[in-house]
Structures are given as C-alpha cells and as structure tokens.
Amino acid sequence: MALTLGRTKLLAHPLALLVLILALALGAREEAAALMIGLTVHEAGHLLAARALGVSVRQLRLMPFGGAIQLENPYAIPPGKLLAVATAGPAGSLLCLIASAALAHWRALSPGLALALAHVNLVLMLFNLLPALPLDGGRMLYALLCDRMGRARAVELGILLGRIAAALLIALAGASALIVRRVNLSPVFAAVFLLTSAGDERRALSGANLKALVGSLAPISKPVPARLVAVDEDCDAHTALRAARADAHTLYAVYSGSRLIRLTDERRLLEAVIRRDGDARVLDA
C-alpha cells in the first residue's frame, strides 16, 4: 500500500500489515491502535526534522517495529544533519510516551489504551536506539564516528552490530517460546530486516562516494593531459572506471565490434553509475 505526501512516498511494509491484522484477529484493538499511533508519531518526528533541515525524504516505510525513512542518501548529507534526523524519531516516541501517561493521569485516555501506548512507544524508542544499521541508533553512531574512523569503517561497524543484534533478537524469540510458551514473531521480523539491510547500506555508501567524486572533478580551464581508453559498448562502468587516473582526465572511446560509436569521459561514467545505483554500462554514459 502506497500513498504520496508531497515528494515523499509513504509505504506500509507487508510485515506491518500482518502484525496489525494479527492484533485485530486476536481482539487486541487497543494494542493495534497504539501501534499505528506510535509508528506514525515516530516517523513524523523523522519527517519533520528532515524537512526543517532541508533534507529530502524519498520514501517512508512503516515496519512492525518502527519505520524506515529513505533519505536522499544518508551518507551524502552532513553528519550533523543525519544525527538530528535520526534522533528525532526516538524523541517523538519519548514525547508520545510522556503524553499518553499525562492524558491517562488526567483521565482523558482510557487506562488500557494509555498502557498500550506507553508500551509501544517504549519498545519503539529502545529498539530504534540500538547502535545497529539501518536503525536510528546505527545512523547516530555513524554520524558520531564517521569523521574519526572513516565512513566505510563506520558503516561496516554498524552492519556488524546489526548482525549481532539480529542474533540476539532471534535468541530472545526462541527463549520466549521455550520459557513463556508463547511465540512472538516481532523479534524475528526485526532480525530479518537487520540481516537483509547490509547490502542497501553498502550501496548507499558507494553512491555517496561516487557523488562526492563527481563533485570533486575540477572543470577544465586550460589544456591538461588526457588519456584515451578503448572499451567495448557492453563493458561494465565500474570496470571502465578502474582505468581512470587521478593525474589526468580519462576519455573513453566506446566501440561496437571494430566500429567507434561514441566518446565519453570519467564524469559521465560516474554520473551513470550514480543514476543507475551502481548497475551501469559505458553505453549508459
């Protein structure tokens, strides 16, 4: 299910819908309502912070244990802005928890719904503060460490912590099933999400690095050395870029068989790689 809010696409992950349907089927209406309210408040915090800081949000996806916002590229924006946007979600959950307790105290909210809201927002806040990518805590950890240890190492640390967190969540689900005799699928869903997100994080970092490289290419204002490299039209753009050198501009003569069909350069190759999320040929430039 997808909606559009301005330039942001709103998506509900099938797992979130499944959890909602299960809650309703089991008669847990207050818990289902609390879950949807908590998710909405949490993601609204991210969205409002991003809008205030001028960060573009392409997609907002509701998950059964929180949400996932797809920024223009989390690794292509300043660490300070990334830290603020990542912190805004758990902060929204904390405010919602406090508000639900206050409304229950003033008897403006039923005790059952207030308790469900407090529980949901506490779980959302604590889970998303785990220092594991792509959770909010992982984004915050990256923003704090990327300048000290390098962007690639900070991302790999976040991915490693995500795998450790996934293993602990699966162990928690297993222990719950054995001790309490009740199966809770939410930790399993969360673990699957963490384990399958590593590739997306690495691709995002690669795209950010390429974008920065394109921006660093100085315009030609005087005659400079250039190298000419012949490549086949079906050559992978990444393979062709390995022939580029920092001390000279590289031109690519693209051949179809023995026939020259076009000329391109390193900047256009980099732009093609970014545009196609890493899957590009020299002909796409």
Written as one string, the DSSP assignment of the chain is -EEEETTEEEEE-HHHHHHHHHHHHTT-HHHHHHHHHHHHHHHHHHHHHHHHHT--EEEEEEETTEEEEEES-TTSS-HHHHHHHHHHHHHHHHHHHHHHHHHHHTTSS-HHHHHHHHHHHHHHHHHHTSS-TTSHHHHHHHHHHHHHH-HHHHHHHHHHHHHHHHHHHHHHHHHHHHHT-----HHHHHHHHHHTSHHHHHHHHHHHHHHHHHHHPPPP-S---EEEEEEETT-BHHHHHTT-BTTBEEEEEEEETTEEEEEEEHHHHHHHHHHTTT--BGGG-
Which residues are the active-site residues? 43
pLDDT (0 to 100) of residue 94: 93
| Domain segments of the chain as ranges | 2-214, 219-284
pLDDT (0 to 100) of residue 247: 62
pLDDT by residue for the chain (285 residues), tens digit each?
445 555 666 666 666 666 666 666 666 667 767 777 888 888 888 888 988 988 877 777 666 555 666 666 777 788 999 999 999 999 999 999 999 888 887 888 788 788 888 888 898 899 899 999 888 999 999 999 988 988 889 888 999 999 999 999 888 888 887 887 777 777 887 888 888 887 778 777 776 666 666 665 666 667 777 788 898 888 888 778 777 766 677 888 889 888 888 888 887 887 777 666 556 788 777
pLDDT (0 to 100) of residue 277: 57
Is the pTM higher than 0.85? The answer reads no
Tell me the C-alpha distance between 203 and 282, whole Å. Answer: 19
